[in-house]
Structure 1
Amino acid sequence: MEKAKELLQVTPEESQSLSQHLPPLTPNSNFCFYEQFILRGIHVDRVEPGLVVCTFKVPPRFTDRTGKLANGSIANLVDELGGAVAHTEGFHMNVSVDMSISCLSTAHVNDELEITSRLLGRKGGYSGTIVTLRNKATGELIAEGRHSLFGRHASKM
């Protein structure tokens, strides 16, 4: 348990580094911590029915202590972009049911990634998506995630 606590301990340098990237939250802010921390930096390149293609330059806050893109960051990108491609305008957001992610390579700080999210299909309120993360410079596949979502849609009655 002590080893786990030691590994999770944030150094003063790490704390200072993170605080430099985020504006302070105030009671009257029009943004939330999540939007500022996670979604900032994702550039949408193309949107078509069932397809979203984005570019993302890996910031230091998305990496582990070795400077590699953290697995949790990959999971978050799969969740956000899988949910985005499955969203239907005018309906409530879907909730994640299941995610399966294969991490095949690594990315580092300032690597530019191309993230492609595709809708595999929809049956009732259930949707399936696949999200791929590739190094834009080399074309190397970093990770592939399958994401299942459910959303209750308005009745046809």
Structure 2
Amino acid sequence: MSQHQAAFRARQQTAGKSVTVTKKMHDELVLECERLREELAQARRAVARPRPGRDASEGVLPAASGVLVQPVPDTTELDERQLVVTLGVREYFSLERLAVHYGLPKRALVERLLWWADHSVVQSFGDDDAGFNRYVNRRNKKL
């Protein structure tokens, strides 16, 4: 019985200390969490800051919704191509909803989204001229 009592007493002493240690650890973790949040905020501000030598608007691509709310440009171009597309039901109704929501013809909606996607890919190359040239030259190849 004395071994059981000794083990019980040891557990009681450890349990009492762990409450104090847990409180202390909690306070330290709260401070660490606050420090990490501040580091994250600083990193986000650094990423949002324009790089030296670049225009503030250069390299910043608007969200798709920002592209869709811009005024509709005059699209009376002589060099047009026809594209026949079959869409799945979900995509078809998505296109309809977007067209109604933004008050755009489906053609203008598709054109803007394609421009936006292409522009984001082109910007992703940065100073990689070889990568950009490979991307541009692929347009002539059939898939």
| TM-score using structure 1 length | 0.22
Which structure features the higher share of helix residues? 2
User: Which structure has the greater CA radius of gyration?
Assistant: 2
| TM-score using structure 2 length | 0.23
